[in-house]
Amino acid sequence: MLPHKQIELSLQTAVRAVLPDADVAAVLVRPCDPKFGDYQSNALMSLAKTRKLNPRQLATDVVANLDVSAVCEKVEIAGAGFLNFRLKNSLLGQTLEAAARGEHLFFAKAAQPKTIVLDFSSPNVAKPMHVGHIRSTGIGDALQRTLRLLNHRIISDNHIGDWGTQFGKLLLGWKQILNRAELERDAITELERLYKVINAECDANPARLEEAKSELVKLQAGEAENTAIWKEMIALSQKQFDTIYGRLGVRFEQALGESFYNPWLGEVVNELLRRGIARESEGAVGVFSDGSLPQKEDPFLVNRDSEWVADPALVRKSDGGFNYMTTDLATIDYRLKTWSPKEIVYVVDDRQSGHFKKLFLTFARWKSEEAKNTKLVHVGFGKIMGEDGKPFKTRSGDTVKLSDLMDEAEERAFKIVSEKSPALPETQRKEIARVIGLGAVKYADLLPNRQSDYVFSWDKMLALQGNTAPYLQYAYARIKSIFRKAAETFNVQHSTPNIQLAAPEEFALAKHLLNFGITLEAVADELRPNYLCNYLFELAVHFSRFFESCPVLKADDEAARHSRLALCDLTARVLKQGLDTLGIEVVEQM
Ligand code: ARG
């Protein structure tokens, strides 16, 4: 068992001995400042707090029941009740040797795998995917990869926006002003044009709006012609989505669009009405505050001119149509019935946080039993800003299309690669540029705390120095070149090297390697891929310090060389696995 897991288990046993009824699931350890040790746990302080115990006393009692002598030096109680653990050096070496033998890569499968539905990307039909979609798509994909690596069962579901009032205008446009040649050439641009033209006409002319509405009514009634056109629009959009997901290397288990839930929407609203959870208001139907929350935290209220007024979750419009909310309610119900997940996670823009608060509360009122057993989580994120401090746009002020952005990333990376390695054949430079360009964009998006806005900067994200994907990819390729060189001179097929740690840089690198699993667990717990980015960056920094101070191929003797080569190899493997978990590829040579 990995050392951090062993410490956690022993600690949980000791906590149970002192507090038999405690929920020990949150009794975990985390890496800590090397000044204090290798791992730290702050779990006792919160346990003491909820039970009104003296935290230092609780820590003392727990430590008296704790036996981690096989793994750690003496456990220290610090500050208000932290526990600090320092690994035994012998164990550090053993763990690295087991990894070098291929027994593990510093992470373990979750003992209790969870079923989790991950709702992410979810673009809308008949619109181009734009730069903003990189956020939900990239964060969602990194989360699905992390959770899968830890053995959780993930149902990724692309909740495509394939239904709604926009189809009235699109249908009208399709029937009256469609340019077939343009549709062949670039379907999404043509669909976008149809919508824009008709939308402007509807704004100016109520009669046009009526025409669009009647197209929508026909679609909603299942009329054959409109249904066929609508299906064609979806198919054309899906083609665009597939191309982009293919380039990004993102896969979904399911892609049940909004329209999939249509058959259930009427019944959802009827039930909410029948049970008094929703009521009619000005012809529409909505869910209103039940007064159970303080006004400031109640998403069903807004403050207008220092007065709290109702801000209901609308589930049926006055014309009888259903809302985004209605679909999302039916969707939760379907997901629970189909997959019985422990959690449903939505990776969606922070601007929709009000929607999700209302959704989760409404669902809890509708199905209280199910809601108790299922965690509904909104994983929100901030905006992408331009270097001018305004939302990121093209020079002419349009939203940046994702496909254009990916093209530009590859072109810029190609220039850099061609300058650095002009001798490589062009096809190879193109492939390296693809991996570096897309990696740079994805990584720049995953690196900041997801809730903060970040500034999109080509120069920063493509830099070979600093906390960037190219820097990590370069570190990987550099290690690979060490092995290519080694193979010219030595027999490097040494299956079970003895790991000898002597220099402080070797210890620092070794301990950091051990933290890979704990980092993955933190990403999975808090749904924050940026922890993994920072971990990998620090790994590359530790590696380069090690490589500067500890000769590898010129080590004093064969044993030292083997040990250091093993450290190089483990670093490369963790870098590769870590980047893969972020959805980023590597190349053997740059
Ligand atoms: N299509 C929506 C949009 O573009 C996002 C859907 C997110 N998922 C959900 N279940 N509401 O805003």
67 residue type, one letter: D
The reported pLDDT for the residue numbered 239 is: 95
- Position 493 scores a pLDDT of 66
Side chain identity, residue 110: A
* 159-179 residues labelled b (16+ CB within 10 A) or e (exposed): bbbbbbebbbbbbbbbeeebe
Distance 296 CA to ligand 1 centre (A): 26
Query: Measuring from each residue's beta carbon to the nearest atom of ligand 1, which residues come in under 6 Å?
Result: 119, 122, 124, 159, 161, 328, 331, 346, 348
Confidence check: pLDDT of 220 > 80: yes
* Closest-CA residue to 250 (of 346, 118, 409): 118
The Cα–Cα gap between 76 and 269 comes to 58
| Topology at the third CATH level for domain 259-379 | Rossmann fold (3.40.50)
| Index of the ligand 1 atom closest to the CA of residue 161 | 1
Higher per-residue pLDDT: 142 or 35: 142
Please tell me the distance from the alpha carbon of residue 281 to that of residue 297, in angstroms, as a whole number.
23
pLDDT band at 111 (very low <50, low <70, confident <90, very high): confident
Res 571 pLDDT > 90: yes
Q: Which residues make Cβ contacts (< 8 Å) with residue 449, sequence separation at least 6? A: 528, 530
Band of pLDDT at residue 300, cut at 50, 70 and 90: very high
% residues pLDDT > 70 (the chain): 99
Dig out the tokens for 58 from the structure: 């609780």
Phi-psi category of 106—alpha, beta or left, where left has phi over 0 and alpha has psi -120 to 50? left
Ligand 1 mutation target, pool 345, 348, 355, most atoms within 8 A of CB: 348
Structure confidence at residue 317 as a pLDDT band (50, 70, 90): very high
Q: Compute the distance from residue 359 Cα to the ligand 1 centre, in Å.
A: 12
Give residue 260 CA to ligand 1 midpoint distance, Å: 14
May I ask the CATH class of domain 3-87? Answer: alpha beta
Q: Which residues of 486-521 are buried (b: 16+ CB within 10 A; e: fewer)?
A: beeeeebebeebebebeeebbbbbbbbbbbbbbbbb
What is the arithmetic mean of pLDDT over 55-74?
A: 95
Give the residue range(s) of CATH 3.40.50.620 domains in the chain: 259-379
The pLDDT of residue 395 is 87
Just give the CATH number of 402-581.
Answer: 1.10.730.10
Residue 328 CA, ligand 1 centroid: distance in Å:
9
- Which residue CA neighbors atom 11 of ligand 1 most closely? 328
Residue 149 predicted with pLDDT over 80 = yes
The tokens of 59 are what? Answer: 């820590």
Residue 556 CA to ligand 1 centre (angstroms): 60
- Measure 158 CA to ligand 1 centroid, in angstroms: 9
Ligand 1 geometric centre to CA of 283 (Å): 26
d(CA 333, CA 344): 11
**Pairing outcome for strands 30-31 and 39-41:** antiparallel
CA of 328, closest atom in ligand 1:
10
Q: Does pLDDT of 558 surpass 80?
A: yes
For 346-380, how does the pLDDT look when each residue is reduced to its tens digit (9 = 90+)?
999 999 999 999 999 999 999 999 999 999 999 99
> CA-to-CA distance for 132 and 350, rounded, in angstroms?
12
Atom of ligand 1 nearest to the CA of 359: 11
| Residue whose CA is at the smallest distance from ligand 1 atom 5 | 122
30-31 and 76-78: which strand pairing?
unpaired
Given a cut of 70, whether residue 37 has pLDDT beyond it is yes
Q: How far is the CA of 264 from the centre of ligand 1 (A)?
A: 18
Q: Which atom of ligand 1 is nearest to the CA of 124?
A: 1
Q: Give residue 284 CA to ligand 1 midpoint distance, Å.
A: 22
Instruction: Give the pLDDT score at 494.
Output: 60
**Nearest protein Cα to ligand 1, atom 6:** 122
Whether residue 204 is predicted with pLDDT greater than 80 in this model: the reply is yes
Instruction: Say which range, 10-14, 108-112, 282-286, has the weakest mean pLDDT.
Output: 108-112
- Summarize pLDDT for 73-83 with one digit per residue, the tens: 999 999 999 99
In this prediction, residue 171 has a pLDDT band, given cuts at 50, 70 and 90, of very high
Q: What percent of the chain clears pLDDT 90, i.e. is strictly above it?
A: 94
Residue ranges, comma separated, of all CATH 1.10.730.10 domains in the chain are 402-581
- Ligand 1: residue whose CA is nearest its atom 4: 123
Residues of the chain with CATH 3.30.1360.70: 3-87
